[in-house]
Amino acid sequence: MSVVEGDPFSFLGSAAVNPAEIVRPTSVEEVQAAVRAAAASGTPLWTVSRGKNLGYGGAAPRVPGSTLLDLSGMDRILEVDDESGYCVVEPGVTFLALDEHLRATGSRLMPSVPDIGWGSVIGNALERGFGYTPHGDHSAYMCGLEVVLADGTLLRTGMGAFPDSSAWALYKGGYGPSLDGLFVQSNLGIVTKMGVWLMPRPETISVCQIGAPSDDDLAPLIDTLRPLLLDGTIQSNVVIGNAPVIASMVSPRAAWWTGAGPMPAAAVDRITAALGIGRWNARCAFYGPPALVAARLDVLRGAVSAFDLKVTTYPGDVDPADVHPADRAQLGIPSTDLIRMAEWRGGTPAHTDFSLVCPPTGRDAVRQKELIERKVEAHGFDYAGGFTLNPRHAIALALVSFDRDDPAEAAAVAALFPELIADAAAAGYAPYRAHVAYMDLIADRYDAYDSAHRHTVERIKDALDPAGVLSPGKQGVWPAGHRSTRGAVPR
């Protein structure tokens, strides 16, 4: 039996890192028992909430012989509070399930969802995933964690340290140091409950699509939108995609180009003409009472007059069936449609993602676009990607879809990513997230001040998990006993 879908390392030409065993607890007590057993036996536990982090390795553990601790069976929605706008969930709760629950119970709250809704609400927040509503920065909207430590200790963070606090999911701070951040992209504990802030479903949502006709419009587009994000006129992030990435959401590559090598400009022109989109396409949304949404829209209209603006307005309680598929993310409606993006090149669909942090400026975006495009095309892939623009940072995203069963493509992907990381580092940028196979490679770049950050996390790791059994190698953090194997990709 395998919960690892396919073999996330096969593109590296290596053996699969499938877990030796799978444990599926249904309660906190069973999680505590599992960590105690792991510490006693010395067998590493690799924890996944639902294991759907596919572009980054899915449920594959870093260390061969690990036991997979699969939390998908802990799938209760424990509380929904319409009055103060939060829910408390277990790790197995998916975005699809949360949305269904809120609708079925008549809640006035709406979730923020990532591109694909089958993943875990907790897992996504802990990996610093994001959605496209005003609550799109998912790790910023968590409030209150319950965590099982490596020795079985049960810990509640923030106000949860006060017995039966009514403010556990309401006030992040608590008393004394905040521990929440320790459990993000982490192997320091296992999160078994999380408070998640949800926004009230607004009266109106207007989704805006801004098309820019030329490749050269990237910088002006970003520099036009950033001030509106910074002053709060735009309430969500702005997701910016080039024509190929938009095409991959609705069609296979073969519909536009069947030749070898990267898609030529003429094929991209066919995409923009046929789909009625720009070379760059930005999406954001406004939320609130109609008069406030209209006032925001007026500001946007004045700012983007050089571009093509399309606005679609929905009542906040619109039936999901009446929403255009492209607008769902801004409305917090989960779906699995975008799985098809991995089918872009045909064959056995696989994809891996590259996510680079950068300042939210046009000049940084252009530098990142050029370095990613150059490298991706050099390996024969299309540059299908873009940016998620936030008030103070952008994430440059490249989605590399490939045929896992094509040895040449798999080899090209395996060669591409280390080069991308090196090129980005040379230009002063770093990814915030990593495929399991590249966790050390990226961690090695975060080496300022003699790698003080990593060494500090390692000191905490050794203090909290002396046996070193919780997800060794996660994000490049290894327990004392494994540090000599650091950096070796499993083969």
| Active site amino acids | 56, 432-433
96: nearest Cα among 59, 67, 63, 124:
124
Query: Binding to its own copies (CB under 8 A): which residues in 241-260?
Result: none
Sign, CA dihedral 354-70-32-17, equals negative
Provide, rounded to whole angstroms, the least separation between the CB of residue 244 and its own copies.
26
Match 């969930």 to its residue by tokens.
89
Stretch that binds its own copies, among 17-25, 52-60, 168-176, 400-408 (CB under 8 A): 168-176
Q: Closer to its own copies at the Cβ: 310 or 459?
A: 459
Q: Are the beta carbons of 55 and 78 closer than 8 angstroms?
A: no
231 forms part of the interface with its own copies (CB under 8 A): yes
Distance CA 146, CA 190 (A): 8
Least CB distance to its own copies at residue 336 (A): 26
CB of 47 to its own copies, least distance (A): 14
Report if residue 219 touches its own copies, rule: CB under 8 A: no
Residues 6+ apart with CB under 8 A from 259: none
At its nearest, how many Å lie between its own copies and the CB of residue 422?
Answer: 13
Considering only residues 5, 269, 298, 317, which one is a binding residue for its own copies as defined by CB under 8 A?
298
* Measured torsion, CA atoms of residues 481, 66, 477, 187, in degrees rounded to the nearest 10: -120
Q: Is 475 in the site for its own copies (CB under 8 A)?
A: yes
Taking CB under 8 A as the criterion, which residues in 113-132 touch its own copies? 128
Residue from 59, 74, 143, 389 touching its own copies (CB under 8 A): that is: 143
Interaction residues for its own copies, span 183-212 (CB under 8 A): 183-186, 188, 197, 199-200, 202
Interface residue with its own copies among 259, 265, 266, 449 (CB under 8 A) is 449
Nearest to 256 by CA among 240, 277, 278, 274: 274
What single-letter amino acid sits at 125? A
Provide the minimum distance between the beta carbon of 444 and its own copies in the complex, in angstroms, as a whole number. Answer: 11
**Residue 51 contacts its own copies per CB under 8 A:** no
* CA distance readout (Å), 459 to 20, 63, 470: 28, 20, 15
Phi-psi region of 64 (alpha: psi -120 to 50; beta: other; left: phi over 0): beta
Nearest to 45 by CA among 476, 469, 491, 478: 469
Which segment (96-104, 160-168, 275-283, 336-344) binds its own copies by CB under 8 A? 160-168
Question: Is residue 391 close enough to count as binding its own copies by CB under 8 A?
Answer: yes
CA distance to 22, 244, 388, per residue, from 398 (Å) = 32, 11, 11
Query: At closest approach, how far in Å is the CB of 173 from its own copies?
Result: 5
Instruction: Confirm or reject binding of residue 473 to its own copies (CB under 8 A).
Output: no
Residue 227 or 264 with smaller CB distance to its own copies = 227
Where in 357-376 is the site for its own copies (CB under 8 A)? Answer: 357-361, 364
Residue 173 as a binder of its own copies (CB under 8 A): the answer is yes
Shortest distance (Å) from residue 37 CB to its own copies = 20
Contacts (CB under 8 A) with its own copies, residues 76-95: 83-86
Name the phi and psi angles at 134, rounded to 5: -60, -20
Q: Which residue in the set 230, 274, 408, 422 belongs to the binding site for its own copies (CB under 8 A)?
A: 230
Handedness of CA 320, 295, 277, 340 (dihedral sign): negative
Rule CB under 8 A: say whether 289 interacts with its own copies.
yes
Exactly one of 179, 396, 412, 470 binds its own copies (CB under 8 A); which one? 179
CB of 78 to its own copies, least distance (A): 16
Give the per-residue SS3 of 154-209: EEECHHHHCCCCCCCCCCCCCCCCCCHHHHCCCCCCEEEEEEEECEECCCEEEEEE
Nearer to its own copies, 85 or 123 (CB): 85
CA distance 60 to 157: 28
Helices (H), 310-465: 328-331, 362-378, 407-427, 439-443, 448-464
**Angle of CA points 66, 72, 78, to nearest 5°:** 135
240/268 with CB nearer its own copies: 240
Is 457 among the residues that bind its own copies (CB under 8 A)? yes
